[in-house]
Amino acid sequence: MKKIFTLLTVLLLVANPLCAQTDTNIIDEVIWVVGDEAILRSDVENWRLQMQEEGQRINGDPYCVVPEQIAIQKLYLHQAKLDSIEAPENQVVTMVEARINDAINRAGSKEKLEEYLNKPVSVIREEWKQIVREQSLVQEVRKKLVENIKVTPGEVRTFFNRIPKDSLPYIPATVEIEIVTIEPVISLEEIDDIKKRLREYTEQVTSGQREFSTLARMWSEDRESAKRGGELGFVGKGNLLPEFATVAFELNDPKRVSRIVETEYGFHIIQLIEKRGDRINVRHILLKPKVSKDELNEARLKLDSIRNEIINNKFTFEDAATYLSHDKDTRNNKGLMVNQTQSYSDRAGTSRFEMDELPPEIATVVYNLKVGEISPVFTMINSKQKNIVAIVKLKSRIEGHKADLSEDFQALKSMVEAEKEEIALNKWLDNKIKETYVRINENWKNCDFRMKDWNVE
């Protein structure tokens, strides 16, 4: 027997006069009710357009597929409420800004994007925040539901052996890369100028001439937080760089501005907004020292000299990466890069990359390298948004091929995990549907839904 969470105004929604009109006169209508949530025809259309905008493929009739996807999401969101799962606001904002920037680039300009979507970017931003927030919550619930799933070697072998030889999955080409980087030395004059500007901003805030948020919007080089007046949103200590966190959590007076803090991103000043237990919300202004052409050329010459000594067997590439490279993420790994992709790819956390998973500057030079070869010196922007110079060595390359049990065990294991996770999630959804009030408009009941129990009342 189905359990009704709370019907609220479900009966009123279903009895909406709009629903009694003929299809040609319908402005909007409730087509599904899931628990105490209604799904409108307009919701389906908006969701379909969003999927189209993101380039997602809809397998089947969108007016059957999309409402079911929305209904499934509502089940996950209800579970997120029960489990008190929250989406960190700073992560949501970061993801939304990245999407908006990508959409603007694809549209050609901000104005063209607004024309295409028929709404200003400020409205798009708020709508996408809600979408991203809900997507993050769903992802966290799914992760929690499958966190204890394990795969044994025997299960991988069974999975591999049951696949017909002519249907074995194709494994794309992957590479392993070692890297040595040098950061140009920033002049003391440039650093002094940065600190002078930050002290001036501090004086303007403390004297009441300017609001901290205004200065952040105008001058902070953390462009995403700058749009919010430098605000980061509530975060814990572990979400911040140690140097930044130490100073931020020392602040107690929202009217005061912190001392200047140096991190790997540059120099900051910080203002407290609010503390809530072990979480804090602050504003900051970030200024990054600029690298001159002379400093960049000097770094290139230094790294070119190191490259020549490696080629002349004075020391190995791995020694250079360990003792001379400025890349702290790879120094302790003899320069070997680790795939930090956030997808559920089997390569996440390993040293193997597909070409499109590499930073574009690295992919460009690696494309024509042979195994064991070292690239010429090139410039790139690192993950901290700093100009650096680098050389890379192609450690290995595995060409694209049909899956092999010994060579591709990790990839096959990932496929088995995905299969087991899908089974577990579908079982959870089956149970969730059975205990949830669901009502579907008659016009949608003949759809071929992925989950088979929706129509049970």
* Per-residue H/E/C for the chain: CCCCCCCCCHHHHHCCHHHHCCHHHCCCCEEEEECCEEEEHHHHHHHHHHHHHCCCCCCCCHHHHHHHHHHHHHHHHHHHHHCCCCCCHHHHHHHHHHHHHHHHHHHCCHHHHHHHHCCCHHHHHHHHHHHHHHHHHHHHHHHHHHCCCCCCHHHHHHHHHHCCHHHCCEECCEEEEEEEEECCCCCHHHHHHHHHHHHHHHHHHHCCCCCHHHHHHHHCCCHHHHCCCCECCCEEHHHCCHHHHHHHCCCCCCCCECCCEEECCEEEEEEEEEEECCEEEEEEEEECCCCCHHHHHHHHHHHHHHHHHHHCCCCCHHHHHHHCCCCHHHHCCCCECCCCCCCCCCCCCCCCECHHHCCHHHHHHHCCCCCCCECCCEEEECCCCCEEEEEEEEEEEECCEECCCCCCHHHHHHHHHHHHHHHHHHHHHHHHHHCCCEEECHHHCCCCCCCCCCCCC
Q: Is the pLDDT of residue 20 over 90?
A: no
Strand partners, 181: 390
What pLDDT score does 328 carry?
87
Q: Same domain for 283 and 298?
A: no
- Please tell me the predicted confidence (pLDDT) of residue 27: 67
pLDDT for res 341 = 65
* 162 assigned to some structural domain: no
Residue 300 placed within a domain: yes
Assess if residue 93 is contained within a domain.
Answer: no
**Amino acid in position 96:** V
Between these two residues, 113 and 333, which has the higher pLDDT value?
333
Q: Which of 36-40, 131-135, 242-246, 354-358 has the highest mean pLDDT?
A: 242-246
Domain assignment of residue 407, yes or no: no
pLDDT over 90, % of the chain: 51
| Contacts of 267-273 spanning 24+ positions with Cβ under 8 A | 267/191, 267/194, 267/195, 267/198, 268/198, 268/244, 269/198, 269/201, 269/202, 270/244, 271/205, 271/212, 271/230, 272/248, 273/231
Burial of 175 (0-12, 13-18, 19+ CB in 10 A): buried
Domain closes at, from 287, 307, 328: 287
Least confident of 2-16, 202-216, 402-416: 2-16
Residues 296 and 390 grouped into a single domain? yes
Query: 109 lies in a domain?
Result: no
What is the mean pLDDT of the segment spanning 214-240? 88
Q: Once rounded to an integer, what is the mean pLDDT over residues 391-397? A: 96
In a domain, 23, yes or no: yes
Mean pLDDT of the 238-258 span:
91
Q: What percent of the chain has pLDDT over 70?
A: 91
Residue 387 lies in a domain: yes
Backbone torsions φ then ψ of 345, nearest 5 degrees:
-60, 145
Question: pLDDT digits over 27-61, tens only?
Answer: 688 888 988 889 998 888 888 877 776 677 888 88
Q: String of b and e for 12-41 (b: at least 16 CB within 10 Å)?
A: ebeeeeeeeeeeeeeeebbbbbbbbbbbbb
pLDDT value at 23 more than 50: no
Helix axes 62-82, 41-53, angle to 10 degrees: 100
* Mean pLDDT, rounded, for 197-210: 95
Clarify whether residues 386 and 434 are in a common domain. no
Q: State the pLDDT at residue 120.
A: 87
Token pair listed for 35: 């628990």
337 and 271 belong to one structural domain: no
CATH number at residue 330: 3.10.50.40
Residues 6+ apart with CB under 8 A from 334: 178, 318, 321, 322
Q: Are residues 302 and 388 in the same domain?
A: yes
Q: Which of 167, 197, 216, 208 is nearest to 260 (CA)?
A: 197
178 or 112: which carries more pLDDT confidence? 178
**Mean per-residue pLDDT for 151-175?**
92
Amino acid at 143: K
215/205 Cα distance (integer angstroms): 9
**Which range, of 168-182, 332-346, 364-378, 411-425, averages the lowest pLDDT?**
332-346
Same-domain status, 223 and 283: yes
Residue that finishes a domain, picked among 287, 304, 335: 287
Domain range spanning residue 49? 10-82+418-444
**Do 276 and 296 share a domain, yes or no?**
no
pLDDT average, residue stretch 377-395: 91
Q: What's the confidence (pLDDT) of residue 455?
A: 58
303 lies in the same domain as 427: no
Q: Which residues contact 295 (CB under 8 A, 6 or more apart)?
A: 184, 185, 186, 187
**CA dist., res. 309 & res. 327, Å (int):** 19
Residue 381 has pLDDT above 60, yes or no: yes
User: What distance separates the 2 farthest-apart alpha carbons in the chain?
Assistant: 84
Of 222, 252, 287, the one marking the end of a domain is 287
Take residue 285 and report the two structure tokens written for it. 């202004």
Q: Count the domains in the chain.
A: 3
Do the domain assignments include residue 101? no
On whether both 178 and 301 belong to a single domain, the answer is yes
- Checking if the pLDDT of 17 tops 80, the result is no
Give me the pLDDT at residue 113, please. 83
Spatial separation of the C-alpha atoms in residues 357 and 364, rounded to whole Å? 12
Say if residue 107's pLDDT is above 60: yes
Overall average pLDDT of the 333-352 stretch: 71
Whether 87 shows a pLDDT value over 60: the answer reads yes
Are residues 271 and 205 located together in one domain of the fold?
yes
Q: Are residues 179 and 196 in the same domain?
A: no
Q: Are residues 177 and 304 in the same domain?
A: yes
Indicate whether 261 pLDDT > 70.
yes
Q: How much is the pLDDT for 25?
A: 52
| Beta strand pairing call for 279-287 and 266-276 | antiparallel
**Sorting pLDDT into bands at 50, 70 and 90, what band is 24?**
very low
The per-residue pLDDT for 340 is 76
Cβ-contact 230, 283 below 8 angstroms: yes
For all residues of the chain together, what is the average pLDDT? Answer: 86
Tell which wins on pLDDT, 8 or 266: 266
